[in-house]
Amino acid sequence: MKRKLFSLYFFAIFGSAASCQKAPASLNNSCIIEPESIGIAAGLLTLRDAEKIMGEPAKLSCNTFIKKGDTLEYKCDYTALNRDAKSGKTGKLYFMYEIYAGVPSAANAYTMIYNANSKHEGIEIVKGLGSDAYYHTDGTGFYFYLVRKNEKMFRLKLNKITSHSSEMQFKTVTKRIADKL
């Protein structure tokens, strides 16, 4: 397991795509594209995946990789290139992937998030998708998955569902990511 963790960390730090340029941090934008973390995006949630879910062209608008205590944390988001003419919304897909020091830490983090949200309508426990998983949607505004598999956990959220969004693709991509962990 330590070897896998080191490989992921090494890949994230040194495996970058040549076509991505590091964006300067600005006062209006708290997120930048970090070339060091491009490898994680390529391995877990690609631009092509995001475009399938959103049903339209998109761009990588955030991509960061940090270590918080014993946890490695990767975040990215993709933004649709155009506002949807029917809904007036611009789709945004958020992804967060974490590797905890051990299964108990990851299980505790999952439980805390689930408990904080379990009273909301539209929550459904999903069996067979990792060690623990739940899906949440309000049917019109967002799709959300929280999936834990052993010491790894990820969140995937499509915010601002548009007339092009695909719930089926959202679920298919989520399963593919879970299968990779």
Tens digit of pLDDT for each residue in 115-139? 999 999 999 999 999 999 999 999 8
Query: From its phi and psi, is residue 40 left (phi > 0), alpha (psi between -120 and 50) or beta?
Result: alpha
Say how many C-beta atoms besides its own lie within 10 A of residue 131's C-beta.
17
Checking if the pLDDT of 18 tops 90, the result is no
Q: What is the dihedral of CA 96, 97, 100, 103, to 10 degrees?
A: 110
3-state secondary structure of 137: strand
Return the pLDDT at 43: 79
Q: What is the mean pLDDT of residues 33-49?
A: 72
* pLDDT above 50: residue 27: no
Residue 66: the pLDDT is 85
Residue 176 confidence (pLDDT): 95
- State how far the alpha carbon of 177 is from the alpha carbons of 11, 40, 68, 130, in Å: 17, 11, 22, 10
Residue 8 has pLDDT above 60, yes or no: no
- Which domains are seen in the chain, by residue range? 53-180 (3.40.1000)
CA 27, chain centre distance (Å): 24
* pLDDT the model gives residue 37: 59
